[in-house]
Structure 1
Amino acid sequence: YRQFKKLWGAEAKERLEHHRHPLSFDQCITVESHTDHLKLVNRLASTAEAAIVVAASGMCEGGRVVNYLEALLPDKRNDVLFAGYQAEGTLGRRIQDGVESVLIEGRRVKVKAQVHTMSGYSAHADMNDLIQFVTAIPTPPKEVHLIHGEEDSKKALYQQLINLGYNCVL
């Protein structure tokens, strides 16, 4: 977020003018280094300390979130909140689907934490958005190729586009 200060909104810029950082909250820490990250993971895993960890997911396939999941999933006092879509075949999706255990970095980890999903934060367009996009093209395309997405969703979109008169390829 520091790299994009010029894109911040008026409220954030106003807070900066008053020497108040717009992303600073009491008791909020930013973990900069990998060493500090590992210390925090170990501290949270070995104590009953309450914490909210915000970590980019990348479908939970890599990065710091993997360390947090490995350390915190086995404890039923913890919660994991997915703020959006997790693709089929990913660690995030398996956790989201409610499996009893997952394989993380070669180790079997029990999923005892409560798992929640908050919808509406995905950057992916839904079927209605995609249909609106295609139908808004001034010169209709000769073909619409559906190549990304889950099979059931692609088939439903395919049928809708066929019904609208588009030549569609799965």
Structure 2
Amino acid sequence: MRIALVLSAMLLPCYSYADDWNTELGLGASVLRTRNGGKDAEQDLRPNVYLRIYRPVNSSWQLGTSVEWLIEEATNWGGSENVLMWRLADLDYRLSNNLAFSFHGGIARYFREQPSYGYGYGFGLKYRLSSEWIVAAELTASDVDVSTDVPTDEGRSTKDDLKWASVRLSYTF
């Protein structure tokens, strides 16, 4: 009973701020450029899924966190070459009522034959079509690396350089 009271007391103030938070769900396409070690870069087109939780900081800034998923194979994760990026900081700066400059940074995960982690960062533009719909164009770069203690495939480096350009349509609720 005490635990329930303590949890209620801790969570109750959070509900008073719930109206300030927004969710953005987007679908789009990304052109992913992958370079492994010193080899030539490979490039392919992938579907992109985006989920963001954010709130306004003031009249010009929005601060949030988001997850971006570039899908190569949706049903198999091990060795699928999917890219998952958790944008720890996902910031928007309003240039006008409908146009915003965005930039982000966070943790990237590249699903290859061995776990590959790193960092990522990027920027873009967002245009608000209506109060609910947003179209966005972004560029993101990421460096990921497999642990040096883990063997990798023959002829493949442990380091991958990932860059992608995304266009996305999002719904805000």
**Between Structure 1 and Structure 2, whose CA radius of gyration is higher?**
1
Which is bigger in relative contact order (C-alpha 8 A, separation at least 6)?
Answer: 2
Larger strand proportion of the pair: 2
Length-normalised TM-score, structure 1? 0.29
Greater fraction helix: 1
